[in-house]
Every structure is written in structure tokens, then in C-alpha cells.
């Protein structure tokens, strides 16, 4: 049965996940999509984001303006990625290189979000709209209540509102122990530096190719890569949380003493001093707590409501998969909603999405946490042993990067048809 009116879809959250989905649905004339952001403007936290090969393939599968959106946003291809030791007896040794075909593209988050939002009509983009309640109405329709006392009616609601949003609690129930994200025991900080200054700080040899470097430390990790079309270097310093962090604390300032404390047990090399100076190039340096959905959600959907991206499966950044998994979510939802021509089919579409996406994304949440421990020199039975790190790390990415996205779409459609 075909509806004579477009299906009204409300996407809650205007970050990369929600914007990718909204963009992908533009080609389906039977869908009428609005996107709601709780803050005064559409924005993304953090400097850069890596989109690995699986995420790039998902964008290609969705097509349209998404095909080359990373390039238009100034994304840089990493010709390789090199993991090295910064602590322990093998300090300054190369652990391994990943070849270009295994690496992705690094792009500035704000630039990517801007490109994703460009094709969407301004009248369909709403800011200062924080959801406080979703009301189930007759015949599957929904009324969204915002904190400014306004409402919006839709046939479907898709929560892309992150780990602090409302929609996850609506889907799971506010008393479900899996609703809240938990501290993963890590924090990270970022500093953006012009390329020439970065060369002065670390040395020319680290910038002869667009290579991403990662350094395994003692209870910490350091990374640097090039973005913004090659003009800027992103430095990232990560540490393991100690008793100074309280539950629910999201960020804290970092000064020289705090940065030096992170690397104090690392090997005495020129790199150690360079790390400190590179991070302090940021005059407003902060550490941000890494949180994840340690407890698996029992479902990603409830009736005509579903969750995606960080709202569904918040993960640590250690396998660079948060954005990629949100893009995969968008690809599967676009595939299923493209086949759903009547509101009565929405529940089945969301069930198929849940069945296909939940096992994969939750596996990556836990894999990423384990990778973080290894990368900070605290892997169980591995520590700072370079040979054990070499043995344990490479295979952790294969199941993520080697996903066949065309087949993933077919699987989702097959599951959907089983519900018809």
C-alpha cells in the first residue's frame, strides 16, 4: 500500500550522523525529512575525523553529493599509517605500517558537517530544539515535545542526538542500566598547529609524506596527522584516567605540569619534549573524557522510533570507527526507508535496521576499548612488549574495514522482506 502523503521523518541531532542521514534521504520523494539540533547552531566538537575505507564505501553506496563529500570538505588521504613505540625498551622503534589501501581520509569535522548540510533546505533545519518527550499518538504517529514548549508531528523519529540526548532513553526506558554511557577510563586532548610550525617542533622527517603517526606510551598515547588539505597538523595526546576525574565530568583544563605528568614515565627521547611543546601550542588546551556504551542496548528501536550513531553505540576513538559506523547506520536506514512507502511499514524497517546493525556496532564498541588498552601500553599480557603488540594489533581492524557495504545493504533488505 502506498501513502498519498510523504512520510514525515524527524531526525533529532544535527551532527555528522544526523546530517549524513538527512542528506542521503533527499533523493526519496516519498520522505519528508526535518532535522533538529538542540544547540543554537549546527556544529561538531573536535578538530578532525578519520573516515576509513568502510565509511567511504558507505558514502559511495548512498551516492549523490555524498560520493565526494570528504574531498569537497578538504579531506586528506593518509598514504600510510605508522605505529611506533614511545616508551619501554623498544622506544622509537616502528611497530608496523599500514598500507594506503587500509587507511582512510582525515577531514576537519566542521568542514565535513557544512558540506553534508549544504543540500538540505534551510526550512528543514531547526536549531535550539532540545527534545524533552516523544508522545505516541494514534496510528503510529508521534508528537515531539521540545523544551521551548513547541511540538512537531511526525510518523518516524530517528535519534542521532549523541550520548547525552533524549531518544535513547525513550527507546530503552529511562531506568534501563544501558541508557547512560560509562567512563572508558581514557581522556584525550587536541592541538592544531600550522604545518611549518609542526615541522619545527617534531622534525621534517615526520612530514615528508602524509603519514599518520601513532606512538604507544606508558599509560598514554600520542598521534599526529595532517588535515585541511595539508595546511594543518593535528596533535592528539591521550591518557588513562586517574582518581582526579569524577563521574559525569566531561572536560578539564591541561597546563604544562599536567601534560608533562602524562609523559613522565615515557622514554627520554627528543619526541618526549616535542610532545609537550606541540600540545601547549593550544592556548586553551583541555582534556575530554572518553565515554562509551559499555552495557549493550537490548534494541535500537521502539515502534516508529530508532537510534543511530553515538546515541545507539557510543564508542572510544581507538579504532577510528565512530564516524564510520554512523555513516554505515545512515546507509542501512536510507536503504530501508527508501523501500518503505507507507508509514505502516516503519516499524518493520526499524526492526530490520536493528537486526543488521546492532551486533556489528556493539562488537566494535568492545573491540575499540581493548585496542585502547593495548595502544596505551596496558593490554593484558602485552604491556610495552613490541613483539606482542605487533601480534595483537593488525587483525583488530580487519572485520571493520573489510565490510562489503553493497552486501550489507542487501542483507538489510532481505531482513526487511522477512517482516513483510
What angle (nearest 5°) sits at the alpha carbon of residue 378, between those of residues 372 and 381? 115
Predicted model pTM: 0.92
What are phi and psi for residue 30, nearest 5 degrees?
-85, 5
pLDDT tens for residues 158-169?
A: 999 999 999 999
Cβ(24)–Cβ(9) below 8 Å: no
Q: Where are the domains of the chain?
A: 7-76+109-179+295-368+398-419
Per the model's pLDDT, the better-predicted residue between 137 and 404 turns out to be: 404
How long a stretch of residues is the chain?
A: 420
Looking at the DSSP bridge assignments, the partners of residue 233 are 193, 226
- What mean pLDDT comes out for the span 16-31? 98
**pLDDT category, 140, cuts 50, 70, 90?**
confident
Instruction: Give me the half-sphere count of Cα atoms (radius 13 Å) on the Cβ side of residue 227.
Output: 27
pLDDT given for residue 59 in this prediction: 98
Contacts of 284 (CB under 8 A, 6+ apart): 253
Q: Which residue in the block uniquely carries the three cell numbers 602485552?
A: 382
* 86 and 37 Cβ atoms separated by less than 8 Å: no
Min mean pLDDT across 138-147, 190-199, 240-249, 363-372 is at 240-249
Contact between 37 and 126 (Cβ < 8 Å): yes
The 8-class DSSP code of residue 190 comes to: E
User: What is the mean pLDDT of the segment spanning 271-278?
Assistant: 96
| b/e sequence 349-362, b meaning 16+ C-beta within 10 Å | bbbbbbbbbbebbb
The DSSP line for 198-217 is HHHHH-GGGGSS-EEEEEE-
Q: How far is residue 117's CA from residue 124's CA, in Å, rounded to a whole number?
A: 10
pLDDT digits (tens, 9 = 90+) for 71-130: 999 887 766 789 999 999 999 999 998 765 556 788 889 999 999 999 999 999 999 999
Cell of 268: 627520554
Residue whose grid cell is 598521534: 223
Residue indicated by cell numbers 516499524: 347
Lowest mean pLDDT among 47-51, 113-117, 323-327: 47-51
Instruction: Show the beta-strand stretches assigned E in 284-400.
Output: 286-292, 301-302, 305-307
Grid coordinates belonging to 382: 602485552
Q: What is the mean pLDDT of the chain?
A: 93
Q: Which residue has the cell 519528508?
A: 32
User: How far is residue 110's CA from residue 16's CA, in Å, rounded to a whole number?
Assistant: 9
Active site residues: 190
Beta bridge partners of 302: 305
The span from the CA of 374 to the CA of 407, in Å, is: 32
Residues 6+ apart with CB under 8 A from 143: 134, 135, 137, 151, 152, 153
With pLDDT > 70 as the criterion, what percentage of the chain qualifies?
96
- CA dist 63 and 94 (Å) reads 38
Query: Nearest Cα to 394, choosing from 375, 378, 377, 381?
Result: 375
Architecture field, domain 7-76+109-179+295-368+398-419: 3-Layer(bba) Sandwich (3.50)
Q: Which of 152-156, 243-247, 360-364, 412-416 has the lowest mean pLDDT?
A: 243-247
| Cα–Cα separations (whole angstroms), residue 306 to 33, 122, 156, 179, 401 | 15, 24, 8, 14, 25
Higher pLDDT, 308 or 79: 308
Q: Could you give the residue ranges of the DSSP H alpha helices within 63-126?
A: 69-72, 109-117
Question: Could you report the per-residue pLDDT of 205-245, keeping only the tens digit for each?
Answer: 999 887 889 999 999 999 998 865 678 899 999 999 876 78
CA gap 77, 416 in Å, rounded: 36
Quick one: pLDDT at residue 1?
A: 47
Calculate mean pLDDT across residues 199-209.
92
- In whole angstroms, what is the distance from residue 198 CA to residue 192 CA? 9
β-strand partners of 194 = 232
Q: How many CB atoms lie within 10 A of CB 59?
A: 26
pLDDT, mean of residues 8-33 = 98
Q: Average of pLDDT values for 19-42? A: 97
Amino acid at each position: 500500500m502506498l501513502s498519498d502523503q510523504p512520510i514525515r521523518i524527524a531526525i533529532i541531532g544535527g551532527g555528522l550522523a544526523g546530517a549524513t542521514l538527512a542528506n542521503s534521504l533527499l533523493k526519496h520523494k516519498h520522505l519528508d525529512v526535518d532535522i533538529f539540533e538542540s544547540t543554537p547552531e549546527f556544529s561538531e566538537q573536535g578538530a578532525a575525523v578519520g573516515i576509513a575505507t568502510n565509511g567511504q564505501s558507505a558514502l559511495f553506496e548512498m551516492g549523490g553529493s555524498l560520493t565526494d563529500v570528504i574531498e569537497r570538505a578538504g579531506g586528506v588521504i593518509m598514504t600510510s599509517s605508522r605505529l611506533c613505540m614511545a616508551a619501554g625498551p623498544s622506544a622509537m622503534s616502528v611497530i608496523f605500517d599500514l598500507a594506503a589501501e587500509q587507511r582512510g581520509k582525515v577531514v576537519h569535522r566542521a568542514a565535513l558537517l557544512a558540506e553534508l548540510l549544504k543540500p538540505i533546505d534551510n526550512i528543514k533545519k531547526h536549531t535550539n530544539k532540545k527534545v524533552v518527550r516523544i508522545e505516541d499518538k494514534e496510528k503510529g504517529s508521534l508528537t515531539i515535545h521540545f523544551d521551548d514548549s513547541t511540538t512537531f508531528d511526525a510518523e518516524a523519529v530517528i535519534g542521532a542526538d549523541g550520548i547525552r540526548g533524549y531518544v535513547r532513553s525513550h527507546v530503552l526506558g529511562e531506568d534501563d542500566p544501558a541508557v547512560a554511557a560509562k567512563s572508558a577510563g581514557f581522556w584525550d586532548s587536541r592541538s592544531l598547529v600550522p604545518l611549518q610550525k609542526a615541522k619545527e617542533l617534531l622534525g621534517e622527517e615526520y612530514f615528508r609524506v602524509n603519514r599518520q603517526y601513532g606512538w604507544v606510551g606508558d599509560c598514554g598515547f600520542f598521534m599526529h596527522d595532517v588535515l585541511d588539505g595539508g595546511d594543518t597538523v593535528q596533535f592528539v595526546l591521550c591518557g588513562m584516567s586517574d582518581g582526579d576525574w569524577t563521574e559525569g565530568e566531561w572536560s578539564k583544563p591541561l597546563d604544562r605540569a599536567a601534560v608533562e605528568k602524562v609523559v613522565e614515565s615515557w622514554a627520554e627521547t627528543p619526541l618526549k619534549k616535542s610532545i609537550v611543546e606541540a600540545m601547549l601550542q593550544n592556548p586553551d588546551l583541555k582534556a575530554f573524557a572518553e565515554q562509551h556504551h559499555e552495557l549493550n542496548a537490548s534494541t535500537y528501536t521502539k515502534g516508529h522510533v530508532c537510534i543511530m550513531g553515538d546515541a545507539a553505540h557510543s564508542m572510544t576513538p581507538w579504532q577510528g570507527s565512530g564516524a564510520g559506523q554512523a555513516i554505515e547506520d545512515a546507509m542501512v536506514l536510507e536503504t530501508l526507508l527508501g523501500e518503505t512507502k507507507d508509514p505502516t511499514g516503519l516499524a518493520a524497517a526499524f526492526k530490520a535496521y536493528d537486526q543488521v546493525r546492532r551486533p556489528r556496532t556493539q562488537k566494535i564498541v568492545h573491540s575499540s576499548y581493548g585496542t585502547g588498552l593495548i595502544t596505551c601500553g596496558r593490554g593484558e599480557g602485552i604491556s610495552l612488549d613490541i613483539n606482542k603488540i605487533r601480534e595483537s594489533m593488525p587483525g583488530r581492524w580487519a572485520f571493520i574495514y573489510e565490510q562489503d557495504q553493497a552486501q550489507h545493504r542487501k542483507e538489510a533488505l532481505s531482513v526487511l522482506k522477512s517482516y513483510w
